[in-house]
Amino acid sequence: MQAKFLKIVCVKYGKTNSIRIKNWKRRRYSVNPLQKWQQKRLFSPFVLKLLIIMFVVEFVKGALLLTILPVYMKTTLGASAFIIGWTLAAQYIGDNVLRTPVGWIIDKMGYRTTMLTGVLLTFISVILIATTSQYLWTIIACALLGFGTAPLWPCVITGTTEVAGDEAKGTIMSVIYMAWLSGVGLGPVAINFFINDNNYSLAFRLLIGCMTLVVLVALLLPRKQSAEDPKIDKVGGKAHETYIPFFQRAAAYFREVRRSMSVSPLLFPAMFAQTFALGILTPILTLYAKEVLQLTSFQFSMFLIAGGAVTVILLVPMGKLVDRIGIRPFLIAGFSISAVTLLFFTFVQSLTILYVLVAALGVGYAFIIPSWNALLASAIPPEKRGAVWGFFLTIEGLGMIVGPIVSGKLWDVYGYHAPFLMSGSVLVVLLVLQMFISIGKKGVVR
C-alpha cells in the first residue's frame, strides 16, 4: 500500500514538474499573444491613415511656411517683412485658438467629420495662396490654413492614444512625432526642387496634389458614434426630447472634463514652459547660423540634419524604453542634456564641436518627446480624451506663440547669446519642476 502511494505521488509531482517546465519554456521562447495583438493594433489601418494625414499635411505646411511664403511674398507679391510676419502669425494663432473646441467636436462628431473639415479648409487655403496676387488674400489664406490644421494634432493624438492604450503611450507618441518631424523636415527641402527661377507654379501643383491625397484618406476614416446631445426624459412610457442650448451643453461638458481630471496644478505651467523653450529657438536658429556662424546653405542643411535625423532615428526605440522602464528617468536625462547643450551652445567656436552639440540636442529631445507626451497621456481620462488633448495642445500652443516673440526681443536687445541662455534656463526650471509632478505606478499623473 505504501509503495503504491509513493508511486502515485511520484507520478503526480513528476507530471506537475514536467508541465511547469513546458510552461516556463513556452513563456521564455514564445511571444506573448497580448503583446502581439497590441503591436498589430498599434499599426492598424486607422492609425496608419492618421499618420499619413499627419505626414502629408505637415509636409505641405512646412513647404509653405518655411520655404515658399517668405520669399514668394517678398519677391512676387512685394510684401514687407512686417506683413510677412503677420501672415505667418495668422496661421499659428488660427491653429491654436481652435484646438480646445476641436477636441470637444472630436468627442461629439467623430474623426471623419472633424478631420475632413480641417483638410478641406487646408486645401482651400493652398488654392488661395497659389492663385492670389494680393497679400491680403494670402493673410486670409494663412488664417484658413491655421483653422484647417487645428484638428490635426487633437485628432491624431486622440485616435492613436485611444488605440495604443496605457501600455504603449511612449511608443505611439514617438511614432506620431516621427511622422510630424519627417513631414516638417522634408517639406521645405523637397519643395526647392520644384521651384525654378522664382517660378512657383510646379511647386503649387505638387502641394495641391498632396492635399487631394489627404482629402481622399480623410474620407476613409471611421465614424465614431457620438453621444446624444439632447436630454431624454421618459414620461408615461414615451421619450420626450428636451432641447439644451449649445453653449450650455459645451459648458457642462467642460465641467465634466475638469472633474474627471486628477492632475497636479504644476503640470499646466510645465506644459507652457516646455513649448516656450522650443519656441524661443524657432526664429533665431536660422539667424544664428547665417549671421553669426556664417554657414553656407549646405552647411546649414547638415546642421539641421545633425539634430533632426538623430531625433527621428531615436524616437521609436526611446518610446519603447519609456513604456518598459518608465517616464521619470527619460525626463531627467532629456531635460539635463538639452539644458546643458543650450547653455554652452553659443560659447563654442569650433564647427565640429557645434555639430556634436546639435546632435546632443537631438538626443535630448529624443528623450523628452516620448516621455513628456506619455506623461500628458497619463493625465487624460479616456472618456474625455478629445477635449482634454485639445485643451493641453492649446496650452502648449501658447508657448509656441509667445516663445518667438520673446526670442526676437532678446536677440535685438541683449544679443545672440540671450535666446539660447533663456531656452536652456527654462529647461533647467522644467527639470526641477517635473520632480514635483508625481507619477503613479501606472503612469497616472498626480
> Which tens digit of pLDDT belongs to each residue from 352-405?
898 899 999 999 999 998 888 888 877 776 666 666 777 777 788 788 777 877
Q: Residue 29, exposed/middle/buried by CB under 10 A (0-12, 13-18, 19+)?
A: exposed
Residue 360 has a pLDDT of: 93
Low-confidence ranges of the chain (pLDDT < 50): 2, 4-38, 225-243, 441-444
Between vectors from CA 279 to CA 369 and to CA 347, what angle results, nearest 5°? 95
Interatomic CA distance for residues 256 and 242, integer angstroms: 20
> Are the CB atoms for 296 and 421 separated by under 8 Å?
no
Q: Report the amino acid identity of residue 276.
A: F
Residue 311 has a pLDDT of: 85
Fold of 41-219: Growth Hormone; Chain: A; (1.20.1250)
Interatomic CA distance for residues 157 and 263, integer angstroms: 19
DSSP 270-285: HHHHHHHHHHHHTTHH
Closest to 423 in 3D by CA, of 443, 439, 400, 440: 400
Closest to 370 in 3D by CA, of 319, 428, 420: 319
Residue 237 has a pLDDT of: 44
Interatomic CA distance for residues 27 and 13, integer angstroms: 21
> Are the CB atoms for 28 and 204 separated by under 8 Å?
no
Return residue ranges of the chain for CATH 1.20.1250.20.
41-219, 260-436
> Are the CB atoms for 35 and 323 separated by under 8 Å?
no
Interatomic CA distance for residues 227 and 109, integer angstroms: 8
Residue 392, all three cell numbers: 493641453
Q: Residue 26, exposed/middle/buried by CB under 10 A (0-12, 13-18, 19+)?
A: exposed
Residue 248 has a pLDDT of: 63
Residue 245 has a pLDDT of: 58
> Are the CB atoms for 100 and 391 separated by under 8 Å?
yes
Question: Which residues, other chains included, contact 414 with Cβ-Cβ below 8 Å and sequence gap of 6+?
Answer: none
Interatomic CA distance for residues 150 and 399, integer angstroms: 16
Name the region of 326 (left: φ>0; alpha: ψ -120 to 50; beta: rest): left
Residue found under cell 492649446? 394
Interatomic CA distance for residues 370 and 314, integer angstroms: 10
> Are the CB atoms for 157 and 389 separated by under 8 Å?
yes
Question: Which residues, other chains included, contact 333 with Cβ-Cβ below 8 Å and sequence gap of 6+?
Answer: 364, 367
Residue 339 has a pLDDT of: 95
Which pTM does this prediction carry? 0.66
> Are the CB atoms for 119 and 57 separated by under 8 Å?
yes
Fold of 260-436: Growth Hormone; Chain: A; (1.20.1250)
Interatomic CA distance for residues 346 and 421, integer angstroms: 9
Q: Residue 214, exposed/middle/buried by CB under 10 A (0-12, 13-18, 19+)?
A: buried
